């Protein structure tokens, strides 16, 4: 089983950092699809209050529920605080979406025991 399959099979609750409320944005379309597949979605974006029928939180540490996977839709240079918080709250997996590449912080997550999906 590859890491993508493992993450999707072992995750029920996915925090989506950088989720947009704009239906034309890829983060919205991907997240809506994941929601339609039965995943619980938790939006993490301080600029919106709610998206896809779910309350949005300003950061990962504000989320009151357990998170299996953090799905990151932020520019590569903005990944550090997201990964740092993901490590602190003990998520199982991190998925940096297409074009989001930060080898330094991917390595830090992996050193903390969190597998990371990221473009090469």
2 pLDDT higher than 90 = no
Quick check: 1 and 21 in contact, CB under 8 A? no
Degrees to nearest 5, angle at CA 10 with 5 and 11: 105
CATH number at residue 87: 3.40.50.720
pLDDT digits (tens, 9 = 90+) for 34-87: 999 999 999 999 999 999 999 999 999 999 999 999 999 999 999 999 999 999
Give me the residue label for tokens 């240079």: 77
119 pLDDT higher than 90 = no
Q: Which domain holds residue 28?
A: 3-117
Quick check: 32 and 120 in contact, CB under 8 A? no
Q: How many domains does the chain have?
A: 1
Q: Model pTM greater than 0.85? A: yes
Give the integer Cα–Cα distance in Å for 1 and 52.
Answer: 30
């Amino acid at each position: 089983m590859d890491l993508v399959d493992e993450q999707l099979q072992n995750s029920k609750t996915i925090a989506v950092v950088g989720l947009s409320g704009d239906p034309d944005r890829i983060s919205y379309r991907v997240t809506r699809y994941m929601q339609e597949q039965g995943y619980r979605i938790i939006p993490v974006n301080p600029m919106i209050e709610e998206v896809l029928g779910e309350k949005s939180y300003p950061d990962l540490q504000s989320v009151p529920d357990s998170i299996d996977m953090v799905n990151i839709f932020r520019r590569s240079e903005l990944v550090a605080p997201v990964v740092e918080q993901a490590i602190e709250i003990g998520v199982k997996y991190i998925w940096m979406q297409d074009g989001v590449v930060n080898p330094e912080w991917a390595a830090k997550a992996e050193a903390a025991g969190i597998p990371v999906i990221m473009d090469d």
